[in-house]
A and B are shown apart, each in its own frame.
Chain A
Amino acid sequence: KNEVEQSPQNLTAQEGEFITINCSYSVGISALHWLQQHPGGGIVSLFMLSSGKKKHGRLIATINIQEKHSSLHITASHPRDSAVYICAVPPYNTDKLIFGTGTRLQVFP
């Protein structure tokens, strides 16, 4: 079993839909990262959070440390949101990031 699991693996949506991507992990952590990777490879850090909720524009990330679960929500999705979304965690007392396998999102107009 992978230490970081994401669901779904693939997601298609119509423009304007509300999107939820889930991330569960089995290791103890102090923070969780959400990353976005566009075709071509470039990775952008969306959020780093250790508790509660963070919002940036149409993106919202939540985390429940006790339940070892995080969600990334996209409100009013747009075709430019099409990308792979990856969650990553650094286990306690290490500086390594362990990555989920990613969720490939396609938003159609």
Chain B
Amino acid sequence: KAGVTQTPRYLIKTRGQQVTLSCSPISGHRSVSWYQQTPGQGLQFLFEYFSETQRNKGNFPGRFSGRQFSNSRSEMNVSTLELGDSALYLCASSQGGLAGTNEQFFGPGTRLTVL
């Protein structure tokens, strides 16, 4: 089975722009979670989708949003980019149920740099 894929792998944007990141889960996995990793804050949970519904959301401003499609692929969008949004964005998929109690399979991440 192919692993979790994320596109693009690297992205450079300027402040005020918006960005869309994509995540394709392992075939058959219905849950996709998104995480932000920065040197200062470490790994933080953004949101989780299951069967096209957002089940959980972390403590991030409304500029961060996401969605999941019927084929379980997920996108996250960040609008009005700020310098502090520079980070590695990781997605992870799991088979279903509660993502916290299912093994998570991580993608390689998208490294976003905001100038």
The chain A residues found within 8 Å of chain B, CB to CB, are 30-31, 33, 35, 41-45, 48, 50, 86, 88-90, 94-102
- For the complex of A and B, the 10 pairs showing the least CB-CB separation, nearest first, are A90-B100, A43-B106, A99-B43, A95-B56, A96-B45, A41-B109, A31-B101, A95-B98, A95-B99, A95-B100
Indicate whether B111 reaches chain A with its CB closer than 8 angstroms. yes
List residues of chain B with CB within 8 A of the CB of A44. 106
- The interface size bin for chain B is 20 to 34
Cα distance A89–B100 when bound, in Å? Answer: 7
CB distance from A28 to the nearest CB of B (A): 12
List residues of chain B with CB within 8 A of the CB of A88. 43
Mask, B65-91, CB within 8 Å of A = 1, is 000000000000000000000001010
The chain B residues found within 8 Å of chain A, CB to CB, are 33, 35, 37, 42-45, 48, 55-56, 58, 88, 90, 92, 98-106, 108-109, 111
List residues of chain A with CB within 8 A of the CB of B109. 41-43
Counting chain B CB atoms within 10 Å of each CB, which of A35, A86, A97, A98 scores highest? A97
Tally of contacts, chain A with chain B, CB under 8 A? 66
Pick 19 A–B contacts, CB within 8 A, sort by A.
Answer: A30-B100, A30-B101, A42-B108, A43-B90, A44-B106, A45-B105, A86-B43, A89-B100, A95-B33, A95-B98, A96-B56, A96-B58, A96-B100, A97-B35, A98-B45, A99-B43, A100-B42, A101-B42, A102-B42
- Known contacts: A41-B88, A99-B42. The answer to whether A31 contacts B105 by CB under 8 A is no
CB distance from B12 to the nearest CB of A (A): 16
List residues of chain B with CB within 8 A of the CB of A48. 101-104
Partner of A45, one of B43, B56, B100, B103: B103
List residues of chain A with CB within 8 A of the CB of B56. 94-96
